[in-house]
Structure 1
């Protein structure tokens, strides 16, 4: 090490230690020695050993192994490999500093303490390390007094969850509204407004205390398990989401049909009702891509039949023909499944014989009562049970079933006394849904390698996105109070790596017939990950069964959802590649604006759209903040708004307040009744011009909508768009990146250029002048331009002064 480098690290070490001098320290734990290897730093103390390792310059893991314990066990969340050889260690008689190029871990020897900083800025510090109590194992951290805290999974607490002690136990909350402290999908994960996260990499149940006693303390409490956590930090929010999804895995691309409209209710009682429902969609020309069969597909009664896992022949006499006929109409069939096998079901004896159920203390199937009957629970951690359960899915998939709904997977009732092959119920409860999704996902990889699975589930864990899980927000109240928190839940989960959290559109619980509520909920559904109206059947969830005005408004929302399919599919691809959420909080736009941290009712849908929900009956106007450093155009009226200000927006009956960022390229498509008609030969490309935007970029991703990992296999095309503006002209370029295994077709692009206030002089495709129309009323230019064999297109619009 040169003298300059040595001097730098000495000064840096002093600065790091000084920055944490106010943090609490551990008076019981005593440093003894340390050992550095290529992949980790080991620190030995009187109470046990620490293992500290870097995954990269922005992710570090700290594990504590108490005396008498061996190793740190297996992570259920992490998929990233640790890096080697990119760290440094500096030691003096009082401290050790272990650094990557970004994160520094400062270890004070006496009194013992571990603190973390990033590029010289303090992040967080342990208070006492892991401490064992009579019932739990806890670790405390000191945090700054002004940090806003997100995380903990799906909750309804407001965006800032600081001040709450959160139970970590996946449990359904039926009919929730504007507050829910515990829901289906909990995670031992805290994200700070300082753009870092602490992930407690442990499965058993416990609590996450986000400074509930107002002492600037973050606490994790668990009944047992790994004493391991990772700290993930980003320079920006985009950088943070990239690194966190890098650590825990990224969502595979869903089949393209899953971005369409679903017909769903609790539930369709027969083959006849199922077919007639879809026929009504087709008669009304309302686009639809899938129908979901709730529990009546395997039994006539709500109770007593769960676990049959086969079509009820009286109600569904010819399911294979039904599935094939629906598929011929472009409609996929999705079946609900549950992990419970009732003692009264047709498969009970088989499940007992095959030893696929959780057991009691002496190895017998553990049975207990819950709402649907007396039951056992499939042990999704047990290889024999995985094989048995998957073979049922495989058999149904071979009959044409295209997707799966995994319900009650918290599990809904999971007695503490029940034993799994890998631990007690309480030790594995929070990862049950995670491993259920893993089973289905890996089953497809093995037996249907050319098909993307659709896996709708209510409960999971950190990292479940990598198994293609599509979670929803649970049994929400069918009320305005139920609608209000839906954006909060999805935005929070997107931050936590779960991009497809969505809601039962229209609300699920209760028989409230409110046409305005239904309309507003479906309008929100256009700009959230999955468009799936679903509810208890007393009031229909499907638009085809609503009164004419409501049906017409719902149809308009569904048609807009389909028009935006190319855009939505492209932001799904962005998420797949980078972890960037589909729904993004406003603070992604102004990263240091603390006033935006609590806002959830206005958000970004991808990079181009700003959406503000309407969650009150009869609302005539709404205050909407337009993020700074952009201009925004009303999606309907085309009115322009300067960013960095709030505006009072008059509401419309047929559309939420939705705005498009100036400089955006929005690929759209008209006329689809389902995604079988999806083709870039029918592409409409909108560009939102503003003279202040000198240059902008956009893109459209396309593949066959079915092949797993199509991008990685080279089975794709990526259309890249660029605009350049001067006083006299607007240049637009389209260039195509082609995967090595993709065969492109010739395209004609229908261009729509917005905010052109005067009729242009000329429009050129290359050097050839082409025809165009200009609308004075809407200030838009329309023209068609063919994309040649080379996949490129260059357009010049000579603007009027």
Structure 2
């Protein structure tokens, strides 16, 4: 019996040892225990088991780089494509406090704790609240080349980010992949899409940028309610932890690492028109003429890839363009700028250029043959894939792309840069070898390296000129080089059933903004699907347009020969569309001011409400509305046949922008009337909104007057806005050359005080003479108006407004009783104005 008992015990022990071995094998290599550390200035290296090491680099008191190396060498194939600056203000050495079971490091905002056995990283705020931490011993797990980091998931924690992704803004409970994919007519929850931006933010006051270009994956509690993870099939476990009091501060820390967004030329913020077969001179002239005849504002006409003679020789197709340089000039005289498409490949049928690139080794190679990779392409036959990671390619490509720029073309949209057809199922593409590595590492940054070349070469050939470049495929850090659009949206099976895809463009656009793509557009009308019944399509077109004019770049586009110009849908739709586009142009001073804000802070123009109202949990799941800047709230109608819109108003008071009078208290859901010609649009009480007169293209009339719509706040509470202006074309804004004008307003019991500060002149001032026009929204009829203590004369509203373009000397005011607006006209001489408006009791 004793022998049997001993045998049973031994068998049990062997089973337990085997199970433990299986569990260890299943879990993979972890860091084990941490035994010591080394300090090197702002870096601390912790020594773990099996020669593994963990580097904590303190970029600032809020930003910490974490690099886990299983062999302790801290080597990577390539330097970061996204991160350009790690020196964010940390001074001196790091102080480590050693305790019996842990090490601790303190910054002004954070307490970092590293448990010794096993290694476990935790980050607390200065009040000892746990923000972020490893899940048990699984802060790092490696199986073969696959790496993963598991983090403790709080029950109420929500996640946002990852750039341009489908589905809801809130990522909690879902998983996502980073693998730039050509997904035409993508579904409302389809993943992955065109761009890979492995940066996300948590409601727990932190953001994470996982600096790995492979097919990374993020699982935000999709496997467990106890943990979330980010992982990659290869590469290094390098990530940046960013603390912030709010999301804005986290975004500021992210752009400090990855760079500020470039500003587009001013005209890029107007309206633009495109179509898949926009590929001829005659057509471009005809479309331009129709816009001007019908007085529908438009700044840009695109040309799709069929404009080229050979893919991608940058020569105009001779059969389609008779005198392209003259065409571009004459369209420019009418206010149109031409943007053309480029693809990142050279067709084999374009023998001269293909042989040139092939002989120079400018194509990605096929490791199986050692020859240039033979890439099937949707048009132009099989191609060579230009290897933009090879330094010599840049000048070669730049010389080619400069040819149409010399003809007057203003910029490019870089299409198909995934590169196209290199989706998850296209495993043959993994045989491509680029100068900087194999395709599994380069795939997600391929479009990024292309856009970098396009922009840097544009700057080289066109010094001090702003680039226009809009891209489909991208990686983190793209904001330094390019803008974005959401690719091939819409329903390809039945264009009339594209309502869900349209509605999905709102969270896609807001998600793009969170990935620092502040200058973005959806293809208005949706790209996919043949339009056979324009009457049936008209409602969807109108509603998409009403959303699209609040996309910063606003491009109407559709595949093939499917026309989506406003007039093809009939007179009613044309009129509604014109009004929507005119609103965009009127708001240009407001939009351009926020373009500068985007450059300075990374904050997008289209904002998810939680960016401004982070403590309102109702904003976490708002996928059908957004803020446009700080002061405007847009709630597009996205349901077929709907004539009302249910929307949420955050704290404060909100005024219906369309009637200027209806006021609603915040922190509630409301339903408003929204017939086909109405965009549900609200302005925050206390806002000041600058605007300009309607023009057919941006700055058609350089000396336009700037109006300030003042929506006064409660008695005694000041409102303000700072108008930003620069030349809109050069890169002087990067040198601090601009001007600003601050306007404030405050309501008193029997009067209003409005102050226009003297212009802050930083080397730029508006050209020519112009006026400021104050539009004070109030129900109180003015008794008198004083400017700098001088009483000014009253005149009729139509007389005052008519003088906006012709009289740059007199001061006057008027009262529009029907609209409840007091107008005050002032010459903009750059000087200080104090306006006092006496009226009736506003209590």
Which category describes the TM-score, using the shorter chain as reference length?
Answer: over 0.9
The CA distance in 2 between the partners of 1:544 and 1:359, in whole Å, is 48
Aligned with residue 724 of structure 1, among 731, 734, 746: 746
673-682 vs 141-150, which moves further: 673-682
Contact residue 59 and residue 103 of structure 1 kept, 8 A:
no
Aligned ranges for residues 61-80 of structure 1 at < 5 Å?
A: 61-67=65-71, 69-72=73-76, 74-80=79-85
Q: Report deviation, 1:593.
A: 1.9
Aligned with residue 780 of structure 2, among 758, 765, 771: 758
1:792 is the counterpart of 2:832:
yes
The CA distance in 2 between the partners of 1:310 and 1:395, in whole Å, is 7
Report the equivalent of 2:33.
30
Report the equivalent of 2:506.
487
Contact residue 356 and residue 388 of structure 1 kept, 8 A:
no
Q: Which has the larger radius of gyration?
A: 2
Contact residue 246 and residue 614 of structure 2 kept, 8 A:
yes
Count of residues in Structure 1 that have an aligned counterpart in Structure 2 = 770
The CA distance in 1 between the partners of 2:54 and 2:736, in whole Å, is 44
Contact residue 589 and residue 628 of structure 1 kept, 8 A:
no
Aligned ranges for residues 759-774 of structure 1 at < 5 Å?
A: 759-770=781-792, 771=794, 772-774=813-815
Q: Report deviation, 1:92.
A: 1.5
726-735 vs 150-159, which moves further: 150-159
Distance verdict in 2 for CA 1:151–1:355, change over 3 Å: same
1:124 is the counterpart of 2:146:
no
Q: CA offsets per residue over residues 470-511 of structure 1, 9 Å max, x none?
A: 333443334211210111011112122221232001111002
The CA distance in 1 between the partners of 2:187 and 2:652, in whole Å, is 35
Aligned ranges for residues 507-526 of structure 1 at < 5 Å?
A: 507-512=526-531, 513=534, 514-526=537-549
1:777 is the counterpart of 2:811:
no
Distance verdict in 2 for CA 1:68–1:96, change over 3 Å: closer
Report the equivalent of 2:63.
59
124-133 vs 522-531, which moves further: 124-133
Contact residue 165 and residue 512 of structure 2 kept, 8 A:
no
The CA distance in 1 between the partners of 2:299 and 2:91, in whole Å, is 48
1:203 is the counterpart of 2:222:
no
Report the equivalent of 2:249.
239
1:450 is the counterpart of 2:464:
yes
Q: Report deviation, 1:76.
A: 1.3
Distance verdict in 2 for CA 1:348–1:26, change over 3 Å: closer
Report the equivalent of 2:405.
397
The CA distance in 1 between the partners of 2:609 and 2:562, in whole Å, is 35
Distance verdict in 2 for CA 1:334–1:140, change over 3 Å: same
Q: Report deviation, 1:577.
A: 1.0
Report the equivalent of 1:103.
110
1:42 is the counterpart of 2:45:
yes
Contact residue 67 and residue 238 of structure 2 kept, 8 A:
yes
Distance verdict in 2 for CA 1:632–1:59, change over 3 Å: farther
Q: CA offsets per residue over residues 178-210 of structure 1, 9 Å max, x none?
A: 322221112222321223211111112232222
Contact residue 589 and residue 690 of structure 2 kept, 8 A:
yes
The CA distance in 2 between the partners of 1:740 and 1:593, in whole Å, is 38
Report the equivalent of 1:528.
551
Aligned with residue 431 of structure 1, among 445, 450, 457: 445
Aligned ranges for residues 518-667 of structure 1 at < 5 Å?
A: 518-667=541-690
Report the equivalent of 1:383.
391
Contact residue 274 and residue 301 of structure 2 kept, 8 A:
yes
Contact residue 473 and residue 502 of structure 1 kept, 8 A:
no
Q: Report deviation, 1:150.
A: 1.8
The CA distance in 2 between the partners of 1:45 and 1:576, in whole Å, is 42
Aligned with residue 412 of structure 1, among 396, 420, 423: 420
Q: Report deviation, 1:77.
A: 1.2
Q: Report deviation, 1:637.
A: 4.7
1:470 is the counterpart of 2:484:
yes
Distance verdict in 2 for CA 1:712–1:27, change over 3 Å: closer
Aligned with residue 373 of structure 2, among 366, 378, 394: 366
Distance verdict in 2 for CA 1:189–1:690, change over 3 Å: closer
**Secondary structure at 1:138's aligned position in 2?**
strand
The CA distance in 1 between the partners of 2:185 and 2:30, in whole Å, is 48
The CA distance in 2 between the partners of 1:737 and 1:777, in whole Å, is 33
Distance verdict in 2 for CA 1:212–1:152, change over 3 Å: same
Q: TM-score when scaled to structure 1?
A: 0.93
Q: CA offsets per residue over residues 4-52 of structure 1, 9 Å max, x none?
A: xxxxxxxxxxxxxxxxxxxx99975221211112221111112311111
Q: CA offsets per residue over residues 443-479 of structure 1, 9 Å max, x none?
A: 1332212210011100111111111333334433342
Contact residue 633 and residue 662 of structure 1 kept, 8 A:
no
1:175 is the counterpart of 2:175:
no
1:342 is the counterpart of 2:347:
yes
Contact residue 667 and residue 685 of structure 1 kept, 8 A:
yes
Report the equivalent of 1:669.
692
Q: CA offsets per residue over residues 255-286 of structure 1, 9 Å max, x none?
A: 00100111211022321111111111111111
- Which runs of 5 or more residues in structure 1 are unaligned? 1-23, 300-304
Contact residue 333 and residue 401 of structure 1 kept, 8 A:
yes
Q: Report deviation, 1:135.
A: 5.2
User: What is the root-mean-square deviation of aligned Cα atoms in Å?
Assistant: 2.1
Contact residue 459 and residue 467 of structure 2 kept, 8 A:
no
Q: TM-score when scaled to structure 2?
A: 0.88
The CA distance in 2 between the partners of 1:693 and 1:474, in whole Å, is 50
Distance verdict in 2 for CA 1:751–1:740, change over 3 Å: closer
The CA distance in 1 between the partners of 2:270 and 2:248, in whole Å, is 27
Q: Report deviation, 1:678.
A: 5.2
The CA distance in 2 between the partners of 1:687 and 1:206, in whole Å, is 48
**Secondary structure at 2:621's aligned position in 1?**
coil
Distance verdict in 2 for CA 1:345–1:686, change over 3 Å: same
Q: CA offsets per residue over residues 356-403 of structure 1, 9 Å max, x none?
A: 110122532111324333121000100122222121112221221101
The CA distance in 2 between the partners of 1:692 and 1:606, in whole Å, is 24
Question: Which of structure 1's runs of 4+ aligned residues deviate more than 6 A?
Answer: 24-27
Contact residue 549 and residue 580 of structure 2 kept, 8 A:
yes
Report the equivalent of 1:711.
733
Distance verdict in 2 for CA 1:257–1:481, change over 3 Å: same
Q: CA offsets per residue over residues 399-438 of structure 1, 9 Å max, x none?
A: 2110101000111134000100011111111111111111
Report the equivalent of 2:760.
738
The CA distance in 1 between the partners of 2:294 and 2:224, in whole Å, is 57
**Secondary structure at 2:521's aligned position in 1?**
coil
Distance verdict in 2 for CA 1:381–1:784, change over 3 Å: same
Aligned with residue 298 of structure 1, among 294, 308, 328: 308
Report the equivalent of 1:324.
329
Aligned with residue 275 of structure 1, among 285, 300, 322: 285
Distance verdict in 2 for CA 1:108–1:236, change over 3 Å: same
Report the equivalent of 1:440.
454
The CA distance in 2 between the partners of 1:269 and 1:378, in whole Å, is 24
Distance verdict in 2 for CA 1:118–1:78, change over 3 Å: farther
The CA distance in 1 between the partners of 2:28 and 2:785, in whole Å, is 70
